[in-house]
Chains A and B, each alone.
Chain A
Amino acid sequence: MKWLRLSAYLAGIGCSLLAAWWLFPGKTTEAGVTAPPSQKWIPSLSETEEFCRFDHPEWRRAQTIEGVEIAADPECRPDNPYLIAAVVKGTNRVTMPTLMKTRLAMDAVVKENDRDGDGDPDVIHIRLEVGELNGSTPDGDFLIPGYRIAPGLTPGLWVFVPKMRGMATVDAVNLDAAPLLRAPSPPIRVEQGDTVYLTLENTHYLPHTIHLHGVDHPYRQADGQGNDGVPITSEKPLLPGERRTYIIRPRRAGTMLYHCHVQTDKHMLMGLQGLFIVEENRPDNWLQTFNVGGGKVRHPSRAVREKYAQEYDLHYQSLDKERYRPIQEYNDPRLVAKGMNRDYDITDNEEDFFLLNGRAFPYTLRDSLIVVEPEQKILLRVVNGHPHTLALHLHGHKATAIAADGVPLAQPVTRDVHALAPAQRLDLVLDTHDDGLHSFGQGIWLMHDHAEKSVTSDGVGPGGDIGLVVYRQYLGDDGIPKLQGMDLTPFFNLGMFQRQIPLWARSDAWEIFSDTGPLPPDTLRVILSGISLGLALGLTWACWRRWRQPS
């Protein structure tokens, strides 16, 4: 009889547990007569950045440093003018106080030997290192050196960097990357006919090379060393701690490219790609050898100054979470190499982050603005570093393509969407004459890749490679564009691209679009599931007592 009673108890306990489980309130609750009220999003000060905080507003002015004229750049965060002076004069020729404001190594850009006697140096020695941004560390759960492409976004990146000195981070306390160490790999400018020694010092823990894509260069050097940077054909990959010098004397001018040719579906797309511009030969033509930063060329070449009021370098590139995952997950280079070369499969993955000059919206509004005046002709050198076609669209303008891949177009093309195949370069002329074709007049005009995923950051938009063409009268003296659209505060919050903030949280009608408040669980369900659970507990206790009693 004891066993019969026991099974009756167990059946009772089972049934009441089942009922409690079934009746327990679920993750969502049906609304009654009125839906729950809206939840107002209030930005927390500690998690929201200012639109523009910058320690060196004096960098925005037009200025002359050591005889080098540097054009004004009135946006929030212009490039360091001392760095521009140093790379124009050469790091071997500039004075120590200027060089000390740059973190460039003294041999980063060595300029000498005016061979043709035209007043500018013709033998240029450029040294590049390889930097990793947002990599892992065995010393804790953080990424080093830190680099944000947008608030709260720290994807893993590799870049070529002008040879540096000192720390890779801001200082011993702030572990963000030093300003020189940033994306994109810096545009390099040399003069047609210069002898250029381009030395790669591989400071990274994986092998790399430099391929001078489209730049006139011999396949081999006089001593037989490979000069094409291709591990399949011309040379072995350059190992960590080693260096190699590529030697060129480019005969033709044009907008070209340089990139690492080791595992290009990984290394090039991790960021080891940059513009390489051969400028036309002119007398007294001191070039800005590196254009580190947001794209504006503050010391354009003679030939560019003859024809254009301004010049900008625009580098579009994208990043894939799966591709860079190994550098944030592992320290051991063998695990990184396996994770990238064998576990990662580019044919199964999609790009997640889209950058203009190393940043995503809204950071592009701080240092990658194109600030124009009416009646200007502006040269834009665009490179498509995405693995997809770039459909570059300018609002309010139809730009004219005058050269592709460094070759002048026989028939210039004026349109508002310019297609660039992967690795392709276009020289675009942005004409701000308000004639109803080239420009529709003054304003703040959007500029973006019209492949729509590119205007998101990991699928959250607006983000990605959105940039702006801002007419000067629409730019405040603080470098902030006088926008009259939606409140951008949520985009400067760390949670925005982590999908934590409703898009129209700051709209006047936030109560319509904001997140809904929660509902309390259904009263009947709370009572019934509680009773069932209580029943199960009571039965268990009774059963236990019965069992213990001697029959």
Chain B
Amino acid sequence: MIRPVLLILFLWLPVAAFPGHRMDMDSMVMNENPTRLPQGCAGIAGDRTITVRAGRKYAKPFPGVVFAYDQRSWEVPPCTRLTVRFINEDHIRHQFMVHGLPPDLYPMGMFTIEVSGPGEETASFILPPYKKTYLVHCDIAQHTEHGMKAQLKVAGGDGDLASLPGLTKPVRPDRYPTRWTGRSLLLLALALVTGAALVWLGRWLIRAMTEDQP
């Protein structure tokens, strides 16, 4: 009963699927584009393959982070055809989702690989020619917020994104308890002495300026 149904489903799947979309039990790819050139690209400038690993263990080096990619920043030249081999090392879903791509080639400006559990999926897309930093993240509820966020720079990018684990500061950082250390106490003492010295210095300066006049 089940097998013929599945067979029909899989035979029919490529017909039903939208171009650039693939989906099965283990993974999903949306807006794959290995051939169509973005506006302004005369041809594919080059092929580049990156392997991206996702999982809780990649968050370990960063206190307070729960989920992360093994790298959080990539740089590629304009018009590169980027092939992403996305490996999920957790037993839940994770995504490699790029935002801000030209919407004529990538609906909603997105390119997505989602892997349903432990496993991997590979897909390619072509980057536009202009200088830009693209957001890469996992859009499962609260995954971006807990570390699964990265950036992809084309032609050097147009800046860095916030709250990339180990790379950039959050827009809204958490606040933690303050504890004075020996170093901070020493700094305070030094600053006190400096303050006192500034009074003396100021007086000396004023005197020097007024008394020098004949």
Contacts and interface: CB of A to CB of B under 8 A. Distances in A.
B116 interface: yes
B16 A171 contact: no
22 contacts: A92-B6, A92-B25, A93-B9, A113-B2, A114-B1, A131-B141, A135-B141, A135-B142, A135-B145, A137-B144, A138-B173, A139-B162, A140-B172, A164-B93, A168-B142, A169-B139, A172-B99, A172-B110, A203-B140, A240-B66, A241-B66, A243-B91
Interface stretch (A56-64, A331-339, A414-422): A331-339
B145 to A, nearest CB: 5
Nearest to B170: A138
Interface string B14-52: 001100000111001010000000000000000000000
Q: Chain A at the B interface: mostly helix, strand, loop or mixed?
A: loop
B163 interface: yes
Given A97-B16, A333-B66, 9 more contacts: A106-B24, A106-B25, A136-B172, A138-B172, A172-B99, A204-B142, A205-B67, A241-B56, A331-B170
A202 interface: yes
B28 A166 contact: yes
A49 interface: no
Contact of B141 (A105, A177, A242, A335): A177
B162 A106 contact: no
A330 interface: yes
A112 B2 contact: yes
B134 to A, nearest CB: 12
Q: Which of B114, B142, B144 has the most CB of A within 10 A?
A: B142
B12 A137 contact: no
A164 B23 CA distance: 13
Interface of B: 1-2, 5-6, 9, 12-13, 16-17, 23-25, 28, 30, 55-56, 63-64, 66-67, 90-93, 97, 99, 108-110, 112, 114, 116-117, 139-146, 162-163, 170-174, 176
- Interface size class on chain A is 35 or more
B172 A241 contact: no
Contacts of A275: none
Given A172-B109, A243-B92, A105 B66 contact: no
Given A201-B92, A240-B67, A335 B55 contact: no
Nearest to B5: A93
A182 to B, nearest CB: 11
B91 A242 contact: yes
Contact of A96 (B13, B66, B97, B170): B13
Interface in A69-99: 92-93, 95-97
Nearest to B146: A205
Given A93-B5, A240-B66, A242-B92, A201 B117 contact: yes
A333 B56 CA distance: 13
B92 A107 contact: no
B98 to A, nearest CB: 11
A106 B141 contact: no
A266 interface: no
A239 B55 CA distance: 12
A129 B114 contact: no
A141 interface: yes
A145 interface: yes
B151 to A, nearest CB: 13
A132 B141 contact: yes
Contacts of B140: 129, 164, 168, 203
Given A138-B145, A241-B91, A166 B172 contact: no
A105 B24 CA distance: 9
Contacts of B9: 93, 95-96
A138 B116 contact: no
A446 B6 CA distance: 48
Contact of B64 (A106, A132, A332): A332
A201 B67 CA distance: 14
A181 interface: yes
Nearest to A332: B64
Contacts of B143: 203
B93 A241 contact: no
Given A92-B6, A163-B93, A241 B67 contact: yes
A167 interface: yes
A204 B56 CA distance: 11
Contact of A241 (B1, B16, B90): B90
A352 B5 CA distance: 49
Contacts of A242: 90-92
Contact of A166 (B5, B56, B114, B146): B114
A243 B117 contact: yes
A330 B173 CA distance: 9
Interface in A336-386: none
A104 B16 CA distance: 17
Q: Which of B5, B28, B146, B162 has the most CB of A within 10 A?
A: B146
